[in-house]
Structure 1
Amino acid sequence: MDLSSALMRFPGVRIVSDPGMPSRRFVMFRRAGDSCYPAVYVDDVMMHRGGDDPAGIDDLVDPIAVAGVEVYRGQAGLPPQYWGLNSSCGVVLIWIRKAK
């Protein structure tokens, strides 16, 4: 299963395809009559700033390497280190398995 398919299981998450390259998919959050792109972090490193910057979510990491995913559709419950201008739409945190 790819990452975008897994994220579709979260409430309020919408996955859209790039019209020019349908295999490239972006994660969006639905909010009161609007949609926006969340900021995306992989192991605490910002990969996409969100807002009007779409994240080609399946291009970021190999889904087999993913240890966990956290989805915050706003600042409620969002850990303070991720607060800021880029978190107004929400944040996706992706955690990678560590090699043993």
Structure 2
Amino acid sequence: MTTLPAPLVWTFDGPFERCLADIEDTLRRAIVMVGDVSRVAMLIDLSLPALKQRVDAGEALQPAWGRFLERMARYGLPASPRVRHLRGAGPLATLVIAYRN
């Protein structure tokens, strides 16, 4: 068995809805890597400056965010994804997945 690094971290940039779809896909893959959804905790860091750029460009946050949260509930995570808003520039989203061995 391969030992996984802890925590698992990915960054996403681009259109808001595409980033959410990529986060969901990555979560699915991480659950397979970890082997058990009950051992997973998920954090999403959102860059407020990057988010503002998307909104200024005309992207809508809703209903995409609401649909994303509905899809996340289907995975049976032990807790809802935690979202942290960052004031610094950077990629739109960073996904951090922590897990218990």
- TM-score, normalising length from structure 1? 0.31
Structure 1 or 2: more helix by fraction: 2
Q: Max radius of gyration: which structure?
A: 2
- TM-score, normalising length from structure 2? 0.30
* Structure having greater relative contact order (Cα 8 Å, sep ≥ 6): 2
Structure 1 or 2: more strand by fraction: 1
